[in-house]
């Protein structure tokens, strides 16, 4: 290793790793390797025990998980923690559920690292929309049912600008709402108002890819009632593709 490499190493390094939606086997090979090599692992609530167990016995494990409306560690403190550990020369893994760039605030954390001149890499993960629907036998696109798919935050009112409901409400579009359980009544009302049929088929996938996975299906008009029976983490999927669940379910 050259002197330059050594001096760069002393600055530390952060791998932003997506752990996938639940089933630990859905971690990527690269994610697996960097977790094993980490000196510090900073992780969220949705990361499984099996994946955390891949870290070295002497790795420092730091939990910064969040629950809805309750932030264990505020985002700016998480950002600072990553910067601090990297500045100590540590090899840090920042581990998040699903994919870090899809409703995971991965971009914000990397901006902070970039501002502080810290080197990083991004290891993608299987996002809940891909993993949970695969395990529920719901193809996100299908020649007969959907020519497009959109991932939407259910925190519609909280997270900034109102979304363009009219653009979403197309019968050949699949809609996947993250964090949508509490807002399911609002989501249903906006979609009905802007053009979807009240009998458009929908699914809620609870604990997707985990042993406890449950899938609820029904018409859009019943979405809020379906959501009452589901617990977090759950995805709401709206679109004709959800009608394939009965035929294609396998898990």
Q: Annotated active-site positions, please?
A: 44, 66
Query: In the block, which residue shows the tokens 């923690």?
Result: 81
Of the listed pieces 25-33, 55-63, 95-103, 164-172, which binds ligand SAH according to CB under 6 A?
95-103
Q: Tell me the residue nearest to ligand SAH as measured from the CB.
A: 98
Q: Does 124 bind ligand SAH (CB under 6 A)?
A: no
Structure tokens given for 68 = 């809805």
Count how many residues are written for the chain: 251
What minimum distance in Å lies between the beta carbon of 96 and ligand SAH? Answer: 6
Q: Say how far apart CA 1 and CA 8 lie, in whole Å.
A: 11
Of the listed pieces 83-91, 166-174, 182-190, 229-237, which binds ligand SAH according to CB under 6 A?
229-237
Helix (H, G, I), strand (E, B) or coil at 200: coil
Among residues 12, 24, 31, 233, the one that binds ligand SAH under rule CB under 6 A: 233
Q: Which of 248, 235, 171 lies closest to 203, judged by CA? A: 235
Smaller CB distance to ligand SAH: residue 12 or 97?
A: 97
Triad 162, 18, 87: Cα angle to 5°: 100
Q: Does 227 bind ligand SAH (CB under 6 A)?
A: no
Q: Does 71 bind ligand SAH (CB under 6 A)?
A: no
Give the single-character DSSP code of 146. Answer: B
Helix (H, G, I), strand (E, B) or coil at 48: coil
Smaller CB distance to ligand SAH: residue 102 or 118?
A: 102
Binding to ligand SAH in span 164-223, by CB under 6 A: 178-179, 205, 207-210
Q: Which residues of 105-132 are buried (b: 16+ CB within 10 A; e: fewer)?
A: ebeebbebbeeeebebebbbbbbbbbbb
What minimum distance in Å lies between the beta carbon of 17 and ligand SAH? Answer: 11
Q: Say how far apart CA 188 and CA 128 lie, in whole Å.
A: 21
Give the single-character DSSP code of 191. Answer: H
Smaller CB distance to ligand SAH: residue 16 or 40?
A: 16
Q: Enumerate binding residues for ligand SAH (CB under 6 A).
A: 21-22, 46, 96-99, 102-104, 127-128, 132, 178-179, 205, 207-210, 232-235
């Amino acid at each position: 290793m050259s002197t330059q490499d050594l001096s760069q190493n002393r600055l530390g390094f952060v791998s932003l790793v997506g752990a996938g939606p639940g089933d630990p086997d859905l971690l990527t090979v690269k994610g697996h390797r960097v977790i094993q090599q980490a000196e510090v692992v900073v992780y969220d609530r949705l990361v499984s025990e099996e994946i955390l167990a891949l870290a070295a016995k002497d790795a420092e494990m730091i939990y910064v998980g969040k629950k809805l409306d309750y932030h264990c560690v505020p985002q700016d403190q998480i950002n600072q923690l990553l910067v601090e550990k990297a500045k100590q020369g540590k090899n840090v893994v920042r581990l998040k559920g699903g994919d870090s760039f899809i409703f995971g605030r991965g971009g914000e954390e990397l901006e902070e690292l970039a501002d502080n001149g810290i080197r990083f890499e991004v290891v993608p993960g299987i996002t809940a929309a891909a993993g949970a629907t695969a395990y529920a036998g719901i193809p996100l696109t299908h020649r007969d049912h959907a020519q497009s798919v959109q991932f939407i935050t259910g925190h519609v009112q909280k997270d900034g600008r109102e979304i363009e409901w009219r653009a979403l409400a197309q019968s050949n579009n699949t809609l996947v709402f993250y964090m949508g359980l509490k807002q399911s009544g609002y989501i249903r009302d906006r979609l009905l108002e802007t053009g979807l049929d009240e009998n458009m088929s929908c699914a809620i996938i609870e604990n997707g890819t985990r042993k406890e996975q449950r899938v609820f299906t029904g018409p859009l008009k019943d979405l809020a009632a379906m959501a009452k029976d589901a617990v977090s983490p759950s995805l709401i999927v709206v679109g004709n593709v959800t009608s394939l669940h009965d035929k294609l379910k396998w898990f």
